[in-house]
A and B are shown apart, each in its own frame.
Chain A
Amino acid sequence: MSIIEVKKLKKEFKVKLKEKGFKGTIKSIIKPKYKKIKAVNDVSFSVEKGEMIAFIGPNGAGKSTTIKMLTGILHNDSGSIKVMDLDPKKDRKQLAYEIGCVFGQKEQLWTHLTPYDNFKFFGAVYDIPETVVEKKINELKELFELDSFIDTPVRNLSLGQRIRCEIVASLIHEPKILFLDEPTIGLDPVVKDNIRKLIKRMNKEYKTTIFLTSHDVSDIEKLCKRVIIINKGKVVLDDSMENLKYHYLNKKILDCKCKEEVNLSGEEGINIIKNKGVNLKIEVDTNKKSISDALKLLNPDNIIDINISNVPLEEIISNIYNDGE
């Protein structure tokens, strides 16, 4: 059963246009002109219970607008949204009990209070009895390893510790779906990895459905089994991570150092990325040419060193972004 069902979702924004300079300002006061921007244009998808899904796209693609519509912050112009069988537009309060939100760039914690006090407060927001909150805090404290700083005011915490607390605060009421909007923004690689592990563990322990947006490809690669890519308000790809890799990873990068120069121009299935005499970097389309054929062309005896690698996922994704334009 799908836990999120979105059909033909649309949202337009009216933006006031102003011509250059002071004259333009006067003009826009007398006769304002507006431009309509289609932020989300005919988006449909569904998410299954317990899934970890990556919802990605370039800046201004409509990601945040979509998330905001799913959580009831914004109202859609047309199309339908069902989150846990609720309509966010009409049943905002009811839905709020079922979902949790972490917006990486927006703080919801009280900075001068300790995480513990903050969690108690959020317990009150969701009408959870004191004893239950206490138990839940202890449980999450262990899962998220907050013991050493749970009584330190939030303003004195590091960014990584703060994000962990933000996530815990949004889990106090045991949401069925967690919306994470760029949870690892600004974190160092070690902390990032730590947060990812915690998110994974949470998904496993509580079967929480995770809806993640991130610009960090390794977030997506390490966490999600399915990717939805959105660009200019439209879904350009909705596929499993495996398929994405399979379809786009039919290309290998060969980076080699040869004894003598090799001329490969014009060979089918081979694209020369860099050719600096004996140092050669080529892309091999394995559908057209096998790696062994490529190696034969290079002549194994001629190779001093070689490195064969996949096309980085980051590149695949930016290619998909560009294809949509």
Chain B
Amino acid sequence: MEVRKEFKLMFTSAKYALMREMLNKVTFFSNIIFMILNNASFIIQWIILYSIKDNVGGYSFKMVMLLWALASFSFGISHFFFKRAYNLSNIIMNGSLDNYLVQPKNVLLSAISSDVDVSAIGDIIYGLIVYFVCGFSIDTFILFLIFGITSSLIITSIAVIVGSLSFWFTKSEGFADRMNNMITNFATYPEGIFRGVIKIILYTIIPLGVVSYIPIQVLTNFNLINFLIVIGSCILFIIFAFIIFNRGLKRYSSTNLMIARI
């Protein structure tokens, strides 16, 4: 019941934020369309690359497209529903959490879902278009949707974790930004081109293994264990994000007032 109420509020928040964004239809639609065009421009480099070579890092052209589809789709969902997770440092630093603390809802959820990123709708649409171009079947589509959600929840959790560092360290927003950018940058390259230390990092510190690579493997060749690994990691990341945020929240006050006093 409690969880349902939280989700209801999350969608209501998104609805109102969307209402606000739609007040100006020119900016609204141009934001979406330009995001789609922006994403599409990256495909060109891959088309050129694959005209020279058939295989890059063990990925066929179709797999790279699938990688793009998933990355764009999940990135879109995360940025649309949880835009402010990527701005959490600032929310913590300037004391904006006060507003959510006096409301009878989960602070983290209300804070990160209090705004939407309209251009992320472009990412979502683009991800779906590329997926359909790659070929459609009911079972891969269901898997694609599931992985879209798990990946978006994992990258949101990471954004929350790095954003929450602001409870402990001032001026940590730069680090949070770079971490979030890194995930987006790496997520659109075939796994096989990375080796050694970088590969280890991609499966640990920057968990792109569970965000991109394993889902792509499962999408092209279903494997139950890998599927469960993704679901399990997603749950773990969410729990971890909540724990870190709630730990930090106990310190919230001091950071807030220190800023005000300095």
Contact = CB atoms under 8 A, between A and B. Distances in A.
B16 A113 contact: yes
A99 interface: yes
Interface stretch (B34-42, B102-110, B124-132): B102-110
Contacts of B250: 75
A71 B16 contact: no
Given A110-B20, A112-B20, A113-B16, A71 B257 contact: no
B253 A93 contact: no
Interface stretch (B5-13, B52-60, B158-166, B211-219): B5-13
By size class, the interface of chain B is 20 to 34
Interface string B1-27: 000010011001100110110010000
B99 interface: yes
B104 A125 contact: yes
A124 B257 contact: no
Contacts of B13: 121
A73 interface: yes
A14 B254 contact: yes
B48 interface: no
Interface string B65-107: 0000000000000000000000000000001011101111100
A39 B102 contact: no
B257 A73 contact: no
A115 B74 CA distance: 34
Nearest to B262: A15
Interface string A86-99: 00000011101101
By size class, the interface of chain A is 20 to 34
Given A73-B102, A124-B9, A68 B16 contact: no
A71 B98 CA distance: 10
A73 B20 CA distance: 28
A74 interface: yes
Contact of B258 (A11, A15, A96): A15
Interface string A175-187: 0000000000000
A101 B115 CA distance: 22
B101 A71 contact: yes
A259 B5 CA distance: 78
B258 A16 contact: yes
A112 B19 CA distance: 9
A71 B102 contact: yes
Query: Chain A binding site: helix, strand, loop or mixed by DSSP?
Result: mixed
B257 A39 contact: yes
Q: Which of A73, A74, A121 is packed against the most chain B CB atoms within 10 Å?
A: A73
Given A39-B257, A68-B253, A113-B20, A108 B99 contact: yes
Q: Which of B9, B99, B104 is packed against the most chain A CB atoms within 10 Å?
A: B104
A293 to B, nearest CB: 51
Contacts of B102: 71-73, 96, 99, 101
A258 to B, nearest CB: 52
Given A96-B104, A110-B16, A73 B98 contact: yes
Contacts of B252: 73-74
Contact of B104 (A73, A74, A94): A94
Contacts of A75: 250, 253
A127 interface: yes
A14 B102 CA distance: 24
A97 B103 CA distance: 8
Contacts of B5: 127
A13 interface: yes
Given A39-B257, A68-B253, A97 B12 contact: no
Contacts of A65: 257
B19 A73 contact: no
A110 B261 CA distance: 28
A124 B258 contact: no
A125 B9 contact: yes
Interface in A57-81: 65, 68, 71-75
Nearest to A125: B103
Contacts of B20: 110, 112-113
Nearest to A173: B104
A39 B257 CA distance: 10
Nearest to A71: B102
Contacts of A93: 104-105
B141 to A, nearest CB: 32
Contacts of B8: 124
Given A15-B261, A75-B253, A121-B12, A113 B19 contact: yes
16 contacts: A13-B254, A15-B258, A68-B253, A71-B102, A72-B101, A73-B97, A73-B101, A73-B252, A96-B103, A106-B95, A110-B16, A113-B20, A117-B16, A121-B16, A126-B104, A153-B23
Interface of A: 11, 13-16, 37, 39, 65, 68, 71-75, 92-94, 96-97, 99, 101, 103, 106, 108, 110, 112-113, 117, 121, 124-127, 153
Enumerate the 10 nearest inter-chain pairs by beta-carbon distance, A residue then B residue, closest first.
A96-B104, A74-B253, A112-B20, A124-B12, A73-B101, A93-B104, A101-B102, A97-B104, A108-B99, A121-B16
Given A92-B101, A99-B102, A124-B12, 20 more contacts: A15-B258, A15-B261, A16-B258, A37-B261, A73-B252, A74-B253, A75-B250, A96-B103, A96-B105, A97-B104, A103-B98, A106-B95, A110-B20, A112-B23, A117-B16, A117-B19, A125-B110, A127-B5, A127-B104, A153-B23
